[in-house]
């Protein structure tokens, strides 16, 4: 069983996604969790292939919204035949001094009441007067020009001379204000390169850009639908995609978005909207009505729903974030963050689903045997049957001897060789 598989977390995500899938497929379909449908062992391989291809297609669909056009994709696929293909994200931030200004800040108003009385006034009411005093403070403010530029490129091998630029929006600018001479940001900060080796991903795509992944069941190293070289390579890619995307998202959340708090003109922007979750189409589904895996048309319908869900999330950001080119935080940055976060979720789902297949297989084996077979059980089993190979007089005996001072005395101890659990 996969040790790091979290069944509760998986089922929480699955139940939410299944509700959406049921609205996508027609009423003749009854999608359910794979373990809830009786199926053959070979169906687990078909399911693993389908889920992995769905994950790869979702990655390409997301990257296409980051500038990976069909032409660029074809070029990267050609590169992957002979050389490695790398996606690289780089960024540069600069902070330069603009000017020093002095402005007057009005503080609290203090009212003072005074009264005067004369001898005659002692018999009558005295006179009172009120004086208002406003505290004004001169404050020095320092203005800074903060810029952020970044780009996403793809290149082959170890040279960027013929790199394909996928995403390179105009430089973002924001005026920052501080009350100290200390710059709010370093003068120059270069981030990256953040590299993702996408060679294997490009090699798994068919002529039309669809996933062409498949487990080689005749491979001597293929033990289960999860434990084989092909799935291990897929998991390796998905984990690297997750790590790379998390680094890109972290760059904006830690280095770019916080600058808004020091802006000269504050903007009220819902930054959490850039982390919105779109539908993830990677699910271990079987059709309960037919007791088989989903058809190609079903998978295509789910993939189309993924694309429309992602586009709807991106469209929602356009109503929240400014669209002006040159803004430090605009709809471009918001879309990039949302897409990077979505890549993380797709990668996590891909690994989670193939781990689920292994977990399901382990549960079914335990249910068939009646218990979980451990290493100790196998050791006892082999020892029991090994003894049958010997005649009684030659059968191995446990190494165990009494220690006596002399024959006829009671034993004072024993000398044994014992096995420990798992040893």
Cα separation of 99 and 108, whole Å? 28
pLDDT band at 212 (very low <50, low <70, confident <90, very high): confident
∠ CA 329-330-333, rounded to 5°: 75
Q: Is the pTM of this model over 0.95?
A: no
Q: Give the Cα-Cα-Cα angle 334, 336, 340 (nearest 5 degrees).
A: 120
Q: Which is more confidently placed, 92 or 329?
A: 92
- Please tell me the predicted confidence (pLDDT) of residue 308: 95
d(CA 103, CA 125): 45
- For residue 165 the two structure tokens come to 């630029």
Query: Going by DSSP bridges, is the β-strand pair 292-293/285-287 parallel, antiparallel, or unpaired?
Result: antiparallel
| CA atoms of 336 and 368, how far apart (whole Å) | 48
| Sign of the dihedral defined by the CA atoms of residues 150, 152, 158, 163, in that order | negative
State the pLDDT confidence band at 49, using cuts at 50, 70 and 90: very high
Higher confidence at residue 239 or residue 269?
A: 239
Whether residue 114 has pLDDT greater than 70:
no
pLDDT of residue 112: 61
Instruction: Compute the distance between CA of residue 156 and CA of residue 140 in angstroms, rounded to an integer.
Output: 52
What pLDDT, in 10s, does the model give residues 213-249? 999 999 999 999 999 999 999 999 999 999 999 999 9
Q: What is the pLDDT of residue 309?
A: 94
Q: What is the pLDDT of residues 158-191, one digit of tens each?
A: 988 889 999 998 899 999 988 888 999 999 999 9
Calculate helix-pair angle for 296-318, 7-24, nearest 10 degrees. 100
- 3-state DSSP helix/strand/coil % of the chain, to nearest 5: 40, 25, 35
DSSP 275: G
Structure tokens, 351: 């690994």
> pLDDT-based confidence at 128, cuts 50/70/90?
low
């Amino acid at each position: 069983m996969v040790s790091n598989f979290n069944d509760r977390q998986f089922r929480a995500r699955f139940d939410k996604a299944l509700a959406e899938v049921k609205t996508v497929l027609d009423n003749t379909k009854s999608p359910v969790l794979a373990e809830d449908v009786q199926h053959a062992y070979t169906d687990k391989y078909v399911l693993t292939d389908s889920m992995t291809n769905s994950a790869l297609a979702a990655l390409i669909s997301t990257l296409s919204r980051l500038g990976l056009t069909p032409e660029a994709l074809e070029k990267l696929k050609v590169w992957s035949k002979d050389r490695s293909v790398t996606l690289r994200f780089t960024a540069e931030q600069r902070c330069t001094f603009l000017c020093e200004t002095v402005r007057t800040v009005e503080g609290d108003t203090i009212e003072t009441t005074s009264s005067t009385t004369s001898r005659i006034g002692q018999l009558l009411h005295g006179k009172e007067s009120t004086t208002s005093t406003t505290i004004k403070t001169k404050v020095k403010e320092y203005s800074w020009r903060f810029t952020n530029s970044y780009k996403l490129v793809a290149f082959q091998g170890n040279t960027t001379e013929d790199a394909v630029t996928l995403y390179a929006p105009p430089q973002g600018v924001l005026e920052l204000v501080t009350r100290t001479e200390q710059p709010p940001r370093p003068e120059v900060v270069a981030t990256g390169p953040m590299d993702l080796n996408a060679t294997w991903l490009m090699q798994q795509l068919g002529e039309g850009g669809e996933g062409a992944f498949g487990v080689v069941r005749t491979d001597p190293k293929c033990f289960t639908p999860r434990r084989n070289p092909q799935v291990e390579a897929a998991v390796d890619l998905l984990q690297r995609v997750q790590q790379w995307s998390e680094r890109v998202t972290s760059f904006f959340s830690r280095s770019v978005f916080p600058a808004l708090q020091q802006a000269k003109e504050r903007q009220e922007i819902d930054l959490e909207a850039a982390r919105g979750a779109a539908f993830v189409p990677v699910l271990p589904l079987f059709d309960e009505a037919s007791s088989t895996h989903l058809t190609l048309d079903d998978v295509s319908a789910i993939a189309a729903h993924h694309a429309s869900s992602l586009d709807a999330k991106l469209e929602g950001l356009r109503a929240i974030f400014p669209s002006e080119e040159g803004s430090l935080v605009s709809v471009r940055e918001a879309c990039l963050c949302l897409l990077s976060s979505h890549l993380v979720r797709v990668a996590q789902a891909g690994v989670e689903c193939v781990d689920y297949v292994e977990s399901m297989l382990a549960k079914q084996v335990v249910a068939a045997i009646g218990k979980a077979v451990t290493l100790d059980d196998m050791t006892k089993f082999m020892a029991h049957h090994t003894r049958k190979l010997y005649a009684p007089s030659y059968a191995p005996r446990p190494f165990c001897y009494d220690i006596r001072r002399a024959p006829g005395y009671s034993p004072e101890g024993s000398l044994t060789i014992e096995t420990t659990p798992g040893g």
